Amino acid sequence: MSDKKRFLISGGGTGGHIFPAIAIANRIKKVVPEAEILFIGADDKMEMRRVPDAGYRIEGLHIYGISRDFSLKGIIKNIKLPFVLMKAMKKAKKIIKDFQPDVAIGVGGFASGPALRAANSLGIPTLIQEQNSYPGVTNKILSQKVCKICVAYDGLEKYFPAEKIVKTGNPIRDEILHIEKKRPEAYQFFGLAPEKKTLLVVGGSLGSKTMNQTMSAHIDELKQMGVQILWQTGEAYYQQNAMELSMLQSDTIKIVPFIKNMNDAYSIADFIISRAGALAIAELSIIGTPTILVPFPYAAEDHQTKNAMALVEKNAALIVKDSDAQEKLIDTFKDLYQNEQQCAELSQNMAQFALPKAIDAIVDNILTL
């Protein structure tokens, strides 16, 4: 074995867990260039593609969460879950024994549960990073055994041991921190015109059915406004509706399943319509672009609405409820599009929520372990 420091990072399921994990890995490599980093993810989730794309090795566990489907299939999945967890824990222990990490980091998601429990059982120092104002079940359970908990919101003493909490903010991808606005290469990449106003629509890494259906229903109204649109649908929705979406595409409407180079998308956006996940909020606060938030209503304890309201109460963003999107979202955008003063106020007020040093604070806490 070499003397290189080894870091294990686990979690995923959605971009809200994966991209912070990759941001942490990238910063560790910057601070400790010789570091070896291994990820553990769930073997059928998006981290199995996104992590290798970022240049890191990942091992997969067969793991899933409690099913809320009360059909026979859902009930059988729940009956099998304890055995699935035991098998995942056994595999995680083997991976960890082989890799011998100096520290294990959990970012939330199914795989982080067995991975960090295995690390704890083997005496390896552990840290979790909680992105949301309301923590998931996995992190609540892990909090009892980990050494430190990095959080982005106040008031998490209700869920975690207070003495372990460090408020750091959420880790932002490095390229988001250094965005050059109105980059000519970004317009060229997406095939859009620099002289036109651009609306970026992002329903989270997995997409939003509500936002997608609203955009499809109102696309002609948006065309008449003269705005150009960059719209991320999510891969599943894009595949299921490929023919319909291809008919909506034009010189001014670019529809894509997933945007890898989000920094380019942000750089050309004059307006943004977005879900209100913790990572989205952290990035949007750095960007400062006038934004309409459409919180995902089924997030645990409706935490996306809580995330959004923190901004709305400070006049830093607008909000449209998911249930009102079909009726109100495009009208809200039209009003914003025509109100330059409101756009300027939202941008200015958004800046107070920016925590650009979060990644440094998180990595500092990891290195102290």
Output the 3-class SS for 257-274.
CCCCCHHHHHHHCCEEEE
Measured in whole angstroms, the distance separating CA 292 from the mean position of its chain's CA atoms is 17
CB 189 within 8 A of CB 261: yes
pLDDT at 206 over 80: no
Write out the two tokens for 175: 């390229």
CB 110 within 8 A of CB 92: no
pLDDT of the residue at 356: 87
Half-sphere exposure for 71 (CA within 13 Å, toward CB): 2
Q: Please tell me the CATH code under which domain 176-353 is placed.
A: 3.40.50.2000
Write out the two tokens for 142: 């892990």
Mean pLDDT of the chain: 93
Q: Provide mean pLDDT across the span 121-142.
A: 92
Across the strands, what pairs with 291? 272
pLDDT of the residue at 2: 57
Write out the two tokens for 230: 């960059």
Q: Where are the domains of the chain?
A: 6-167, 176-353
**Domain 6-167 shares a fold with domain 176-353:** yes
pTM (two decimals):
0.83
Torsion of CA 151, 367, 46, 178, to 10 degrees: 80
pLDDT at 1 over 50: no
Q: Provide mean pLDDT across the span 79-105.
A: 95
CB 134 within 8 A of CB 113: no
Where residue 248 falls among pLDDT bands split at 50, 70, 90?
A: very high
For the chain, percent of residues with pLDDT exceeding 90: 75
Write out the two tokens for 222: 């948006």
Per-residue pLDDT tens over the stretch 27-65 = 999 999 999 999 999 998 889 999 999 999 999 999 887
Long-range CB contacts (within 8 A, 24+) of 163-168 = 166/361, 166/365, 168/129, 168/355, 168/358, 168/361, 168/362, 168/365
Quick one: 6-167 is in which CATH superfamily? Glycogen Phosphorylase B; (3.40.50.2000)
CB 266 within 8 A of CB 283: yes
Burial class (CB in 10 A: 0-12, 13-18, 19+), 326: middle
* Run of H or E including 39: strand 36-42
pLDDT of the residue at 162: 97
Residue type, 19: F
- Alpha carbons 114 and 319: distance in angstroms, whole number: 37
pLDDT: which is higher, 65 or 222: 222
pLDDT at 167 over 70: yes
Lowest-confidence pick of 117-121, 257-261, 268-272: 257-261
pLDDT at 168 over 90: yes
Where residue 173 falls among pLDDT bands split at 50, 70, 90?
A: confident
